[in-house]
Structure 1
Amino acid sequence: MLAVLRLCLLPAVRLYLLGLRVLLSQLCGRPVRLSVMPRQDGRVAIVTGGGKGIGYEVVRHMARLGMHVIIVEFMKLDLASLQSVHQFVTNFKDRNLQLNILVNNAGVMLVPEGCTEDGFERHFGINYLGHFLLTWLLLDILKDSGKCGRVSRVVNVSSAAHRIGEIQLSDLNSRQHYSAHAAYCQSKLAQLLFSSHLHQELQNPGSPLTSCAVDPGMVDTALYRHLWTPIFWAQGAVARLLFRTPAEGATTVLHAALSPDLEGECGGGYWASGQRQITIPPTLDPQLQLDLWKTSLQLLGLQ
């Protein structure tokens, strides 16, 4: 009993301590500023979770630059349903639009234990598998759209929580000992492994598509509503005072999606606070990347 309790409590303690370090780093660091980005007229982007928070600020800035942005709340997509992802992609392709930028931004954090429509643990199913499938089904149009002019980009919005995540290939649905904190961290590490492996798969001379992962930092959004608020004050005045605003959180995402400096081979990697950063060794483990990639394809019934 004590061992099970420890397995459940330890991830929570590690996540809250990590959050405190991230918050102190944000408060002591320089504000992240977005440089002037070029016009995006004629280009098309999809932003999941684009109706609120960081996603909304990303959409708003892209639209101001002239980009045609598909906000997924308004073109129905439920990442907790594989059938919905398939239907969304079918509907999108029927519009005969190009696709230059895919921002995998939507996500959940510390939600109560439960399963998606297809039986996957919710953090793993929504944060990771749903976006994996969405990206996989859109790869052809992303590649085609990147062959003329600027390359296309996939931007995966992750979190510093990946640093304490562990991939359990034999228990990706966290069935043995459930911890919402561990499940969330695993899903964020999975995003980075996917992003890194996808980028490596795409890296050949003249590749029309790149993939990167982004950490927006601790941002005052509804994502934190399930945190233990006496510790992190994730709601209300203190969060507004100490956390980044959604617009500030969107800066690194926009930089990764739009900056001319990251064109082609300069893209990829892991970005936080407006700059490329070195992340934990497991993220760069090619065998772990490949094993998770193959397992994900099997879980999703893909070739």
Structure 2
Amino acid sequence: MSHLYVNVKALCVTALCSHVVPSLLHTVLPKQNGRVAIVTGGTRGMGLETARHLASLGMHVVIAGNEREEGAAAVKKIHEEGSKGKGNYQVFEFVFLDLTSLKSVRQFVQKFRDRGLPLHVLVNNAGTMLVPERQTEDGFEFHFGLNYLGHFLLTNLLLDVLKRSGRHGCCSRIVNMSSATHYAGVLDMNDLDRRTCYSSHGAYSQSKLALVLFTYYLQEQLTAGNFPVTVNAVDPGMVDTALYDNLWSLAQAMKKPVAKILFRSPAEGASTAIYTAAASEMEGVGGCYLYNGQKTQSSDLSYNSELQAELWKKSCELVGLQEA
């Protein structure tokens, strides 16, 4: 019981510190007509809010997710909003993508490439949190496989399209959804699947740290090659979404009243990702960790260039990519 009390108390303190309703919700963003975006996990929660907002700016938005019924419902809802004059939505569509399957990631990318569409914004939003120990289809620890490795492969396979679609003064943008939990994250390169000592909290934190390390290393390569693509990591704060559904029953009961008062709504949580994806102020700006729309220091470990390079090399091996 004391362990639960400590966790819930920490949850409340963090929520109190983070629940500043972002003024970003009221930021006027430039129109994005003619631009194309992919938002993973875009069928609900922050992903849906991100996709909806980008579509309202005039983007052709592809929401990628593994729930076909949810996807169809999301598309129908957005189209209905558009027909009622609640948004200037252009094209909004759902395409199946299971980030726990490297095969599915490759199939999704091939279908997208076959359409000949450009790609100006990639929001790597999909995620899972605090699931019991389990593996993906390819045998990776579930948090690491879904939150990080699936997005690592997706981004790399789409990178040439992003490079072709951007231009200097109007860069393509990659947005990686991280979390404040990355500050507590550690990486054991010899045990990324955490088989030695599994902790759902540790596994989640590790996956979010990996996304920040990936962000910094990729931006360094893009800058070195003078490519018109930027990549940033964002922290949405504590948001009342389905990610918390994996809390055990007593913690769930204690979390509900806290969430109603202190947690951010999905729209508030999505605001920094939307800002990073579309704001004029973020043009040409990459390699940042953003919270409430502000550049923020990430963990000391995330700036370790040797660890960034080592993770990149290991990730390429795990997903079957030749290291660029």
Partner of 2:70: none
Distance 1:168 1:292, change over 3 A: same
Distance 1:66 1:117, change over 3 A: same
Partner of 1:63: 55
Match of 1:33 among 24, 29, 32: 24
Partner of 2:122: 102
Separation in structure 1 between the aligned mates of residue 109 and residue 12 of structure 2, nearest angstrom:
39
Cα deviation, residue 205, structure 1:
7.5
Separation in structure 1 between the aligned mates of residue 232 and residue 5 of structure 2, nearest angstrom:
29
Aligned letter for 2:17?
Answer: S
Separation in structure 2 between the aligned mates of residue 58 and residue 115 of structure 1, nearest angstrom:
28
Asked if the contact 1:189–1:283 (Cα under 8 Å) also holds between the matched residues in 2, the reply is: yes
Q: Is 2:194 the partner of 1:174?
A: yes
Partner of 2:204: 184
Q: Is 2:296 the partner of 1:277?
A: yes
Distance 1:301 1:234, change over 3 A: farther
Partner of 2:162: 142
Asked if the contact 1:106–1:127 (Cα under 8 Å) also holds between the matched residues in 2, the reply is: yes
Q: Percent identity among equivalent residues?
A: 52
Deviation sequence 1:261-300 (CA, Å, 0-9, x none)? 1111x23310112211011111001000000000000111
Aligned letter for 1:153?
Answer: R
Deviation sequence 1:226-285 (CA, Å, 0-9, x none)? 124644657645423321001100110111111111111x23310112211011111001
Asked if the contact 1:112–1:180 (Cα under 8 Å) also holds between the matched residues in 2, the reply is: yes
Partner of 2:71: none
Separation in structure 2 between the aligned mates of residue 112 and residue 231 of structure 1, nearest angstrom:
15
Separation in structure 2 between the aligned mates of residue 234 and residue 294 of structure 1, nearest angstrom:
42
Deviation sequence 1:19-67 (CA, Å, 0-9, x none)? 444201124x454433100000000000000010000000111111110
Asked if the contact 2:175–2:273 (Cα under 8 Å) also holds between the matched residues in 1, the reply is: yes
Asked if the contact 1:18–1:161 (Cα under 8 Å) also holds between the matched residues in 2, the reply is: no
Separation in structure 2 between the aligned mates of residue 280 and residue 298 of structure 1, nearest angstrom:
25
Partner of 1:290: 309
Instruction: For 1:246-257, list aligned pairs within 5 A.
Output: 246-257=266-277
Aligned residues: 292
Match of 2:318 among 292, 299, 303: 299
Deviates more, 1:236-245 or 1:226-235: 226-235
Distance 1:15 1:205, change over 3 A: farther
Partner of 2:140: 120
**Unmatched 5+ stretches in structure 2:** 66-93
Aligned letter for 2:164?
Answer: D
Instruction: For 1:201-212, list aligned pairs within 5 A.
Output: 201-204=221-224, 206-212=226-232
Deviates more, 1:44-53 or 1:69-78: 69-78
Deviation sequence 1:164-191 (CA, Å, 0-9, x none)? 0100100000111111111111111001
Aligned letter for 2:52?
Answer: R
Separation in structure 2 between the aligned mates of residue 14 and residue 283 of structure 1, nearest angstrom:
26
Using the size of structure 1 for normalisation, the TM-score is: 0.90
Separation in structure 2 between the aligned mates of residue 141 and residue 165 of structure 1, nearest angstrom:
32
Partner of 2:87: none
Distance 1:101 1:14, change over 3 A: farther
Using the size of structure 2 for normalisation, the TM-score is: 0.85
Asked if the contact 1:224–1:234 (Cα under 8 Å) also holds between the matched residues in 2, the reply is: no
SS of match in other structure, 1:75: strand
Q: Is 2:35 the partner of 1:43?
A: yes
Asked if the contact 1:154–1:210 (Cα under 8 Å) also holds between the matched residues in 2, the reply is: yes
Distance 1:16 1:274, change over 3 A: farther
Deviates more, 1:15-24 or 1:63-72: 15-24
**Unmatched 5+ stretches in structure 1:** 1-8
Partner of 2:283: 263
Instruction: For 1:5-16, list aligned pairs within 5 A.
Output: none
SS of match in other structure, 2:188: coil
Separation in structure 1 between the aligned mates of residue 188 and residue 147 of structure 2, nearest angstrom:
16
Deviation sequence 1:67-99 (CA, Å, 0-9, x none)? 000011321100000000000000000110000
Asked if the contact 1:233–1:239 (Cα under 8 Å) also holds between the matched residues in 2, the reply is: no
